[in-house]
Each structure stands twice: as C-alpha cells, then as structure tokens.
A and B are shown apart, each in its own frame.
Chain A
Amino acid sequence: MFADYTNFPFYATIVSGTWLIGALLIWATVFMIRPVSGKSKLGAILDASSVVRTPAGRVTGIAGNVMVIGGLLVFGYYLTFLWLGLGRAPMRTLGETRLWYSFFLGLIGYVTYLRWNYKWFLVYSVLMAVLFMMINLISPENFSKTLMPALQSPWFVPHVIVYIFAYALLGAASLVAVYGLWLEYFRTFRMKLLQLADNLVYIGFAFLTLGLLFGAVWAKEAWGHYWTWDPKETWAFITWMMYLIYMHFRYFHPKKIRTPLWVLALAFVILLIAWFGVNYLPSAQSSVHVYS
C-alpha cells in the first residue's frame, strides 16, 4: 500500500501535511472558546485555565490531535523501513541526521503540548520539523552529503534537538518578560504573567540542561574530556547559570517583580551571544563548534 522507503518525497508530503494542518487546527481552538464570566476574550486566550471550549472547538481539537498522531505514525513507519532497508542506523549523513531532527521535533513538540498545553509551541515544533524535511526535499544531494567523522555520533542529534527546544522556550519566556516589563512600567502587571514565564523557563531549562549534558557526554566519548571551556561551552555555561539565578531568585522572592523580569531579559541576551555571537569572537577560531 505504501511506497518504498526510497520515496522520501511521498512520505515527507504526508507527514508535513498532517503535521501542519493538525498543529494549526489545535492552535485554532485557542479562539473557539467561551470566556467565563467577567473575563475579556483576550484575557481568556492568555489564561487558558479559565475557559470553556465551544463544541466546534472540541471537534477541531480532536481532529488536530488525530492528524498529528497520524503524521507521527507515518514518519515512524518510514524511519523503520529506511533503517531495515539500509541495514544500518540511518545516521551517517547530514540528510539522514535531518530526518531524525524532524521526527523528534514533531514528537517532543507534541509531548510538550500534551503536558503543558502550549499550542504555539506545537506549531513552532512542527514548522521546524517541516523546515528540515524541506531542506532534504529541495537538495536530495544532501542525503548522501558527508558528515565529518567527529559528528557521526549518536549524541549529535539529541544534542541539537534539545537546544532547538530550549532556545524556543527560553526565547518565549524572555518575550513574556519584555511584555511584563512594559506592563510593569507603563500599565498594570499581573502576577499570572510571571508564573507563565516560570513555567516556560522550567521546561526550557530542562532542555538546556539536557543539551549541556548530551554535549558533555559526547565530548567525553569523542575526545576524552567532558568540558574544555572552549568559547562556545563557556558561553553556554554562563547562559545556563543566568537561568539558574532567575529560578532561584523567583523561588526565594515570589513577590518581587522587576528584578526577575530584568534577569530574564538579560539572560536572553546572553543566550543570543552564546548562540550567534561566539562565532564572531576572535577566540572562537579554534572552537570545535564553529562549522563553516
């Protein structure tokens, strides 16, 4: 019934289609709500815990979930047969690596959505996943493109994926912080907003920690040291510490508003340095993390 595993465009189309439509349907349910008494519609959208879904919303949500799960199953089926067909783990080339990005972006994005009900996050994960699939479709040459030996490690894919998630969540937390600062200085701040930021930071921080640990274990496997304090690692560590400060400060001073908001906004600046800036530092020229 299904085409063989060499027909990647066929599977990519099915998976991208079901995921995109499914995620958008789920996201659309944000607007299919009846506010509880005394709440504005916008307030209800921001605070999903106090809304009632309309019947149309419920049906749309179910349809969306079915599509996302269907896409996951098809993708899993494809990967299984690719693995069997090649007779080896399909993790040798950049193109194959991207397949795993796509799959796990979809999977973890969906699990995170199920657990935390962040619909925007599902849409983001699916968009990233589809992006990686598109790269493989547009340049199939990359399927056989070389992967340098140091990157041919089972730790490579998880290392990159969890960073993609961490950046998205922590970036969202910082947007919340900037919005919060604006409210705090020019309008009225609501504590709900800091709780939202907390939750995003906690989940994002979990991914960031996983990224750091995968990186350390991988480095130990590949080079014999966990941590060499190369510039990228140094800045990743500083970023991690900034979010630690935020979490601990929030725990100890649950009622303070301005300091944690500023810490969170600053932490994101550091994160951006760790992500992009380091490549431009003169000290980074020898870094193993700068790929041309």
Chain B
Amino acid sequence: MDNKEISPNQNSRSRLFRPPWKYREGFIVALALMLLGFAIEAVTPQPGISIPSFPFNMYAGMAFVTTIVFLHLFYRDMHMVRWLSTIPSAVSAICLIVLLTILMGVFEQDRPDAGGIHGAIGLTHMKNAWVFLLAQLYLLVSLGLAILKRAFPFRKKNTGFLLNHLGLWIVIAGGSLGTGDLQRYRMDLYEDEPVWYAYDSQSNYYEMPFALELINFDIEEYPPQLAIVDSHTGRLTDDSQRPLPYIEAGKTTQLMEWTIHIDEFYPMALPENGRVAYSEEKGAPPYARVRVANNNTGETHEGWISCGSFMYDTKLLWLDGRNVLVMTLPEPRRYLSNVIALTPREDPRELVIEVNKPPKVAGWRLYQLSYNQAMGKWSDVSVIEAVRDPWLPVVYAGIIMLFAGAAYIFWIGKEIKDEGPVTEP
C-alpha cells in the first residue's frame, strides 16, 4: 500500500511500532481493540454494557474529555499521542466501525439470548456490545486529539474542519452517553380515565410526573375509493395498477367498461327505513349511492355501496355474474388522540397527539404509537409512547454544527493545497 510514498525511515517497514507509526500500526491497534472487546464480552455475564444514568454518564464524559485534553497538553510530543491525531489512526478507527456496522447488518440484532459464539462476543447486540464501545472510544480519542491539534491556536481556515469534526464528536459522544438517560415508556389510555402510569418493554411500571386522560382517539381518513373486483378470484379485475378513483358526491368516473356516477356520499352513515342517512353513531361506515352503466351493453345498475366497519357489513353492487363494484377501506390521513394533560403544578391542558407532531409535557415528548386496530377510528384505547431525552440539546448542537460543516464543504469544496510536483508512475 505504501510503495509509492517516500518514507523517511525505510527500514521501519519491517519493524512494527517503531516510529513513524502508519497504517499497519493503526490496523493492529484496531484489531487488538476488536479482540479485546470480544474477550470482555465473552467473560462478562450480562450481554453488552449499558451506559449509566445521570450523573454518572456525565462524570464518565467529563473524565474522558479531561483525559484527551490531558494527553494533548502534556503528552503530545509522545509519538503515539501524536500519531493518534493523524489520518492513519483515524482511518483505522473508521474501518473498525465500518466492519462492526457490517457485522451488525449481517447478524440479526436485539437477540442477546440467541446463544452461539457470535452471541457470546456481542454480535447479536452490537449497539451496546463492548467491542462497539471500544471502537467508538478509539474513534473519539483520535478525532478528539485531531480537533485539539487544529483548534489551538485557532485559525480561521480551520473553521470548516472544526465544525465537522467537533460536531461529529459531540453527536457521537452525546448520543451514546445520552442513552443512559433516555426513557421510553408506553401509556395505554382509555377514554375518560386519567393514567399516571407507564410501562417499559419489560413490563416494569413507573409513575409519571403527569397524567393523561384520553378524550377520544380519531383517524382522519382520505375518501374511500371505487374498485371493481372479480368475485371468482377476489382480486381487482383490472390489474393495470392504475390509481383507483376517489369517491366524491356528484363525480362521474370510468372504470374499465363501466361509467359510474356517484349521486350521494356520506363519510359516516347508517341505513334507516330503507334509506341511508348521515349518522355519527359508533361504527357508522361510509356509504355512497352509485349509478353504473355498462358502455358496451347499456345495462345499468344502481344502489348503495359501503366498505363496512367493525360493526357493519360491507355492501356491494353486482355488475354482472362475475364483477362487483366495491368501496375500498379509506386510508388514514391523520392519527390523533385528543387528551387532557394533568400535572401537579400547572392547569390541565388539552393536547393533540398526532403522528409526526409530538407535543411536550413536563419534559416528555408524547408520540402516537398505536390503537385498537380492529375498531379503527372508534378505538377506545390509544397507546402513547412517552420519551424523555435530556441530552437532546447536546445532540442537536452537534447536528447543527454538522449542518454548518456540510454547507461549508459544499461552498468551499476541497481547498487545493500546494501539492508540489505531481508524481506520475
């Protein structure tokens, strides 16, 4: 690999760990860390290592930063410390992370009890395996020393470098340490019942600093669609994958050889004395009154169709001996829970918890997670995930620096250095 570079010390090629250290030493360090990680994992009883919670994760972080600063201040003339801040060390750390990530992609994850040799050395739970932790530490030491080397004395031309590297350092370190304080619990809410308790994936219960009371859960839906189904196969008669027409009152549309006119449409309705009328009752499905004419034969049909609901049957319209006109189940547009949040200190507050729009209560973000799917929008239960992540601002600070770093790279590109005469082979 090195054959084109003029090394100041040619015979170092044969003597490992003699200065100057280069890639070989880097890969040996990475390999050693990997074996060490596997070994620790194998001898420790529980799978992986979990990051401690506050304040111990903060102490660990401070100790780590102090160590790196200490190395930089007092030992930077030591060959190994200087080498740690160079590209060969960085590249070996990145390669180790890449290797472990590939292994993570190959082995099924989150199965620490899967057994086998790969389970014993941590490949089944890479995210918190010892080997992954050591690899991250190696990367962070290398990255940290490179940052310190460039940051003091500060020079303007290093801005881009610092934004990218410090931003990444903060994201990795903050993200990892933050898992120690990340709380992620579920709350099952039933209508008109304040709930103060949440449970985790092992079904341990916790009292929350707030209560949620479900007013109602709702699914806003897109209009249902019209489809013609072959009653023999149960599939769409027209398999061209063309988009199906949405049902709207007054619309005329064409499906294969049938012209369909929609006279009336109710998103929620129930049959009543032979007619269909708008209804807000529980389980009331959408209904549409349609008139269909076959373009070839002139044959006409008319009637009410409905996709039904968990309480009511579907209504179809037979077009001939084989084909039926059906209404598809409407697709969801928004899932939302209307809740009242109660906290000891503040007044009760009405909130909407919606997918992609998690509100915040007492430092917890609330995510719409699930509902009773059989009952659909009439579900009387809503499952909320409550997440508390006090390290969020730290990680976001790093992310913002990375954003700025990316913009910098886009705009400045590679600053062409004076590379001297180009050697061509």
Q: Which residues of B contact A207 (CB under 8 A)?
A: 406, 410
Decide if B424 touches A189 in the complex (CB within 8 Å): yes
Q: Which residues of A contact B403 (CB under 8 A)?
A: 210, 213
Interface string of A136-156 (1 = CB under 8 A from B): 000101101110111011000
Interface string of B111-149 (1 = CB under 8 A from A): 000000000000000110000000000000000000000
Decide if A224 touches B358 in the complex (CB within 8 Å): yes
Q: Which residues of B contact A146 (CB under 8 A)?
A: 222, 331, 333
Decide if B334 touches A217 in the complex (CB within 8 Å): no
Please measure, in the bound complex, the distance between the C-alpha atom of A202 and the C-alpha atom of B414, giving whole angstroms. Answer: 7
Decide if A241 touches B425 in the complex (CB within 8 Å): no
Q: Which residues of B contact A242 (CB under 8 A)?
A: 98
B335 located at the interface, meaning its Cβ lies under 8 Å from any Cβ of chain A in the complex:
yes
A178 located at the interface, meaning its Cβ lies under 8 Å from any Cβ of chain B in the complex:
no
B413 located at the interface, meaning its Cβ lies under 8 Å from any Cβ of chain A in the complex:
yes
Least CB distance from A276 to B in Å reads 15
Interface string of A195-213 (1 = CB under 8 A from B): 1001100110111011001
Decide if A224 touches B87 in the complex (CB within 8 Å): no
Decide if A256 touches B5 in the complex (CB within 8 Å): yes
Least CB distance from A189 to B in Å reads 6
Q: Which of the residues A213, A237, A253 comes within 8 Å of B101, measured between beta carbons?
A: A237
Please measure, in the bound complex, the distance between the C-alpha atom of A234 and the C-alpha atom of B422, giving whole angstroms. Answer: 37
**Given contacts A223-B367, A229-B109, are A149 and B409 in contact (CB under 8 A)?**
no
Q: Which of the residues B184, B334, B413, B424 comes within 8 Å of A199, measured between beta carbons?
A: B413
Decide if A206 touches B407 in the complex (CB within 8 Å): yes
Please measure, in the bound complex, the distance between the C-alpha atom of A202 and the C-alpha atom of B5, giving whole angstroms. Answer: 24
A254 located at the interface, meaning its Cβ lies under 8 Å from any Cβ of chain B in the complex:
yes
Decide if A229 touches B399 in the complex (CB within 8 Å): no
A2 located at the interface, meaning its Cβ lies under 8 Å from any Cβ of chain B in the complex:
no
Q: Which of the residues B395, B413, B422 comes within 8 Å of A226, measured between beta carbons?
A: B395
Decide if B333 touches A149 in the complex (CB within 8 Å): yes
Decide if B334 touches A149 in the complex (CB within 8 Å): yes
Q: Which of the residues B90, B104, B222, B413 comes within 8 Å of A229, measured between beta carbons?
A: B104
Q: Which residues of A contact B269 (CB under 8 A)?
A: none
B419 located at the interface, meaning its Cβ lies under 8 Å from any Cβ of chain A in the complex:
yes
Q: Which residues of A contact B91 (CB under 8 A)?
A: 245, 248-249
Interface string of B219-233 (1 = CB under 8 A from A): 000100000000000
Decide if A252 touches B87 in the complex (CB within 8 Å): yes
B151 located at the interface, meaning its Cβ lies under 8 Å from any Cβ of chain A in the complex:
no
Interface string of A162-204 (1 = CB under 8 A from B): 0000000000000000000000100011110001001100110
Decide if A283 touches B409 in the complex (CB within 8 Å): no
Decide if B409 touches A205 in the complex (CB within 8 Å): yes
Decide if A209 touches B356 in the complex (CB within 8 Å): no
How many residues on the B side are at the interface (Cβ–Cβ under 8 A)? 60
Please measure, in the bound complex, the distance between the C-alpha atom of A188 and the C-alpha atom of B253, giving whole angstroms. Answer: 65
Number of A-B contacts (CB under 8 A): 136
Please measure, in the bound complex, the distance between the C-alpha atom of A83 and the C-alpha atom of B342, giving whole angstroms. Answer: 37
Decide if B413 touches A255 in the complex (CB within 8 Å): no
Q: Which of the residues B1, B184, B414 comes within 8 Å of A198, measured between beta carbons?
A: B414
Q: Which residues of A contact B419 (CB under 8 A)?
A: 254-255
Q: Which residues of B contact A142 (CB under 8 A)?
A: 243
Decide if A213 touches B402 in the complex (CB within 8 Å): yes
Decide if A206 touches B409 in the complex (CB within 8 Å): yes
Q: Which residues of A contact B402 (CB under 8 A)?
A: 209, 213
B94 located at the interface, meaning its Cβ lies under 8 Å from any Cβ of chain A in the complex:
yes
Q: Which residues of A contact B194 (CB under 8 A)?
A: none
Q: For chain A residues 255-274, which have a beta carbon within 8 Å of chain B?
A: 255-257, 259
How many residues on the A side are at the interface (Cβ–Cβ under 8 A)? 61
Q: For chain B residues 36-90, which have a beta carbon within 8 Å of chain A?
A: 86-88, 90
Decide if B127 touches A229 in the complex (CB within 8 Å): yes
B411 located at the interface, meaning its Cβ lies under 8 Å from any Cβ of chain A in the complex:
yes
Q: Which residues of B contact A249 (CB under 8 A)?
A: 87, 91
Please measure, in the bound complex, the distance between the C-alpha atom of A244 and the C-alpha atom of B164, giving whole angstroms. Answer: 12
Decide if B416 touches A253 in the complex (CB within 8 Å): no
A238 located at the interface, meaning its Cβ lies under 8 Å from any Cβ of chain B in the complex:
yes
B308 located at the interface, meaning its Cβ lies under 8 Å from any Cβ of chain A in the complex:
no
Please measure, in the bound complex, the distance between the C-alpha atom of A223 and the C-alpha atom of B355, giving whole angstroms. Answer: 8
Q: Which of the residues A217, A226, A245 comes within 8 Å of B95, measured between beta carbons?
A: A245
Q: Which residues of B contact A229 (CB under 8 A)?
A: 104, 109, 126-127
Decide if B1 touches A245 in the complex (CB within 8 Å): no
Decide if A241 touches B86 in the complex (CB within 8 Å): no
B387 located at the interface, meaning its Cβ lies under 8 Å from any Cβ of chain A in the complex:
yes
A231 located at the interface, meaning its Cβ lies under 8 Å from any Cβ of chain B in the complex:
yes
Interface string of A36-49 (1 = CB under 8 A from B): 00000000000000
Residue of B nearest to A155 (CB): B356
Please measure, in the bound complex, the distance between the C-alpha atom of A142 and the C-alpha atom of B222, giving whole angstroms. Answer: 13
A74 located at the interface, meaning its Cβ lies under 8 Å from any Cβ of chain B in the complex:
no
Least CB distance from A63 to B in Å reads 27
B4 located at the interface, meaning its Cβ lies under 8 Å from any Cβ of chain A in the complex:
yes
Interface string of B237-253 (1 = CB under 8 A from A): 00000010110000000
Please measure, in the bound complex, the distance between the C-alpha atom of A142 and the C-alpha atom of B87, giving whole angstroms. Answer: 50
Please measure, in the bound complex, the distance between the C-alpha atom of A189 and the C-alpha atom of B91, giving whole angstroms. Answer: 26
Decide if B102 touches A238 in the complex (CB within 8 Å): yes
The chain A residues found within 8 Å of chain B, CB to CB, are: 92, 115-116, 139, 141-142, 144-146, 148-150, 152-153, 184, 188-191, 195, 198-199, 202-203, 205-207, 209-210, 213, 216-217, 220-224, 226-227, 229, 231, 234-235, 237-238, 241-242, 244-245, 248-249, 251-257, 259, 281, 283
What are 11 A-B residue pairs whose CB atoms fall within 8 Å in the complex?
A141-B243, A150-B355, A198-B414, A199-B413, A217-B399, A220-B392, A241-B101, A252-B86, A255-B4, A257-B4, A283-B105
The chain B residues found within 8 Å of chain A, CB to CB, are: 1, 4-5, 86-88, 90-91, 94-95, 97-98, 101-102, 104-105, 108-109, 126-127, 175, 184, 222, 243, 245-246, 331-335, 354-356, 358, 365, 367, 385, 387, 389, 392, 395, 399, 402-403, 405-407, 409-411, 413-414, 416-417, 419, 422-425
A sample of 17 more A-B contacts (CB under 8 A), given A213-B403, A245-B91, is A144-B222, A149-B356, A153-B356, A190-B424, A191-B424, A195-B414, A195-B416, A202-B409, A205-B409, A210-B406, A229-B127, A238-B105, A244-B94, A248-B90, A255-B4, A255-B5, A257-B425
5 closest residue pairs by CB, A with B: A252-B87, A206-B410, A191-B422, A224-B387, A149-B355
